[in-house]
Every structure is written in C-alpha cells, then in structure tokens.
Amino acid sequence: MLPEYTRQGTWRLVALCILLCYPIMAVKWIPFGGGARYLNILAASVSFMLLWQAPRHDIGKLLGGALRCGLPFLPFVLVWVFAQLWHGYDPTDLNPLTRLLWCALLFIGARLAGITYRHLAIAAGLGAAVYCGVALYEVYGLGRFRASGGGYENRFGQFAIWVASLCFLHAVNDKAKAQSSAFSVLLVLAGMLGVVATLLSGSRGTLAALVVVGIILVKASQWRRGVLAGFAILFAAAAFFLPDNPMYGRLESIFREILGYFSETGATQTSIGLRLELFRIAYLTLLDHPVIGPGYTSLRQLYETHPAFGIPSEWMLAIPGFHSDWAQTIGIGGGLLMLAYFATCIWMWLAARGNVYQLAFLGFSIVFGVSEIFFTNKIGLSLLMVSWALYAAAEQNKDPGK
C-alpha cells in the first residue's frame, strides 16, 4: 500500500469507490453500466488523476508493475490486432489493445489508491447483492423469464457468478485469515445472493464457475468438508426458495438438446444445437484457413464464400457470432489467434500460480469461453482484465517493495 501518494480523506474514498464499482458493467440500469464505460471513462479518469499526483521518482516503478501485470495478455492482444490489420478491419477498432492500455492505467490507479483484498471483498459482496436485487426485480417484478440486467442474460449471469465466487474465495482463503468471522459469514451470504442472481439469469454455462471455485478451495484450504457442505446448502436453499426458477427447465433440457442435434439431419434450433453447429462451422473454417483465418465478419459471409458448409437456415444467419472463444478465435485470426489464446492462458496460469483469485479468473474465463464468447468479447475481456489488474494491485499493496 502506498499511503504517501494520496491524501487520506474524502478524495481517496471517492477514488476507491469509483475504482471498485466494476460490477456495474453488466447492469444497464445503473449509470455508466451496461458496457465498458466504467473502464474507459470512470476508472481511466480517476487513475490518471492519481498518477498525476504521484512523485516522479516512483512513476517508473509503477509503469514497470503495470507492464508485468499485462504481459500475459500480450500474445492474444497482439495477434488479434495483427489479424484485424491483416484483414482490413477498422484500425480504430482495436478493442483488445485499448482494453489492455486502460487496465494498465487502472492497475496504477489501484496501487496509488491503496486498494486491498478487504476492499475487493466488500466490492464483491455489494456487487453480488446488487445483482440479486436486479434479478429478483426483473423476474418477479417485471415478469421476465430470465434476468438480464437490461442487456444479455448470459453476460449478466457471468458477472453475477463472478462476484459471487469472489465472495466465497474471500471468505475462506488463507490470505483472509485475519478477518473476523462475522465478515466471512456476510461474504458467504452475499455469495449466495450472487448465485441466486445467476440462477435467475437462466445461464447454464456460468454454473461451471462454481466447479472452478470448489476445486480451488479444496486445494487451497483445509475446510474441505465445510466448503462442500456449503455448496450443498446453497443449492438446496436456492431450490427451496425459488421453485419456479428458469434455470431448472433449462438444465433438464441439456441432454435432450444434445441428442436432438445428432439425431437430426440439419442444425436444430436449440441453444446447445446452435453451439454444436457453430463448432462444426469453425472446424471447417480452420481446415480452409489454417493460419490467419478468413477475416470473419458474419455467418452469412462465411456461408456465401464457403458452399461446402451447407445451406443455412435464416435463424442461423441472424446469429452475430460463434458463441465460443475457441470458434471465434478461428473466425477472427485462424490457427494463429487460437495458438495465441492458448499461449495467453498458459502465461496467465504461470503468473497466477501463487494467487487463488487470479487462478479463479483464468478458470472462469476458460469455462465461460466454451459456450460463450468471453475473451473475444469487449465486456468479457474488460471484466477479466479489470479483475486481474485490481487483484494484482492488491497483492502488491501488501508489499510495496515489489
């Protein structure tokens, strides 16, 4: 922590509150929410003002820390930028590169503001509670089938389970031993609210994040039986209090949708059937464009230029993307970008081996990317990079000499 860089008082409190409000990115009803405006407007502005106050002799050290924080993302970001330029995309639309630059600035701001793990635990708990309130209002107040935060249901579910999982990690992680039992209990309760919000979103793939958290907690904590019992109680409570939850019917349809896809001659108009068909198209695309990809613009363009893919239905042509990071990377940059994606994941794992939070971020991103675009989505990539930067800054604030 670097208290000498910022005044203790109102300004530092305001800066902390702004930097820690990253969960708003998936809630459109909240000012600056429903997009990455938190990062490029709020966090960037505050971080720049904090950097302006920093002593000149420490700026080099801060920039070096920001560089080390962002290094694991470089293979993926640089190859994506190269693919964009190679295929003649708009050169101003370099989303991965701008995400990385803004998050480097965010890391510096978080270090200067003195963000700690306790701050991040509070932010996760408040975020989970807000997501639960939004989900309950949308489903039971507005009568919607699935909670979306005013945007996309699956993205809302990803953010909700993300902050919920952080609550569980903060509650039992060894780094948090000094916190009171009451604070840990509040975090677990907040995590339960976040899981309820996820269930109300009806997003099935997001529940895999709880498997990631369970594995991490079992390996990093001695509370094995307690953690497993906690998850059992959590799901039992959700099933008891939310009998008409939209998630239950969607979970029941998983095997039916898989069998339906393989038993029909064409693509089935179901959630899983659609994704399986997109994997098939991505595989054929990789065979035709193994190095740098076709320069994906839309499925309609791919079908028109590749007759061997078959004749698509109109509902297939209306799909905006591949719904999977693995498939989307093939469309954007072929085998080269896919290899860069794997390289970034491996580098993140190597950099995060001693940090359970960053290991969780990597695990979440991989499991989300199986059925949705996450790395290759502006908001998903923003959540990953923002969380990575904030927790890296908190780890270094424990030891300013790093």
pLDDT (0 to 100) of residue 257: 62
Under 8 Å between Cβ of 288 and 305: no
pLDDT (0 to 100) of residue 221: 59
pLDDT exceeds 50 at position 2: no
pLDDT (0 to 100) of residue 250: 63
The residue type of 298 is S
pLDDT exceeds 70 at position 17: yes
pLDDT (0 to 100) of residue 270: 67
Sequence-distant (≥ 6) Cβ neighbours of residue 377 within 8 angstroms: 155
Which residue from 112, 127, 96 is spatially nearest to 43, judged by alpha carbons?
112
Sequence-distant (≥ 6) Cβ neighbours of residue 136 within 8 angstroms: 147, 196, 197, 200
SS3 content of the chain, % helix, strand, coil (to 5): 75, 0, 25
The residue assigned the tokens 């009451």 is: 182
C-alpha 51/C-alpha 219 separation (Å) is 38
Torsion of CA 129, 221, 211, 390, to 10 degrees: 50
For 102-106, 190-194, 270-274, 326-330, which range has the lowest pLDDT when averaged over its residues? 270-274
C-alpha 83/C-alpha 72 separation (Å) is 19
